[in-house]
Amino acid sequence: MTPSDPVWGLSGKRWLWWGHGSIVSERMERKEKLRYGIVNFEKRKHPRFNIDLPIEYVLDDTPVREGRAANASEGGLMLYLPERMQVGQTLTIKLFFPSETRLERVSAKVQVVWCDLVPTEENWGDYRTGVMFVDITPENLDELKTFLKSLSG
C-alpha cells in the first residue's frame, strides 16, 4: 500500500472509510493519544503551595512597599504587586506568615522571572509577578520549608 491508496478499516462492527494512507496514520496517532491520554507533569523543581500572605519589598533604595504572596515553594514565590517589575530586577522581600506562637518572617533577595498585568477582584495588586530566591540564609530557608511542610499536611 502506498500513502496515496485509499484505506478502509473496521471500527467496532462497521467498516469505515479513513481516507488516504498518510491521513490515516495521523488519525491513528491521534486515536492512540486519545485512548491513552496525555499527562502533563509540572516541571518545577519544588512543589507550589497556594497561600495568601502579606509581603514587604524594597526595590533599590526606595521606601518599603507592600504586596501579597499567592503561592510559594522552596524556589520562589508568585506575588501580586502594585507596580510592574522588569524581568531580571532584584528585590529584597519579607514574607510574613503565622506560626504556632508568633508571626514568622522570612527575608530574602529575589529576582523577577516574569510579570504580567492581571485584574483581580481582591485588592492584591495589579501585577502578578513570579520571583525566584537568589539569596536566602539557611535559617530563613529552614523557616520557609517548615511553613510549607505544615501546609502539605
Which of helix, strand or coil describes residue 118? coil
Does the pTM of the predicted model rise above 0.85? Answer: no
pLDDT mean over 29-56: 68
Measured distance CA(63)–CA(81) in Å, rounded? 14
91-127 per-position pLDDT tens digit: 999 999 887 666 789 999 999 999 998 876 666 568 9
Domain annotation for the chain: domains and CATH numbers:
6-36 (no CATH), 49-151 (2.40.10.220)
- Helix ranges (DSSP H) in the chain: 21-36, 138-151
Contact between 29 and 18 (Cβ < 8 Å): no
Supply 74's cell numbers.
Answer: 522552596
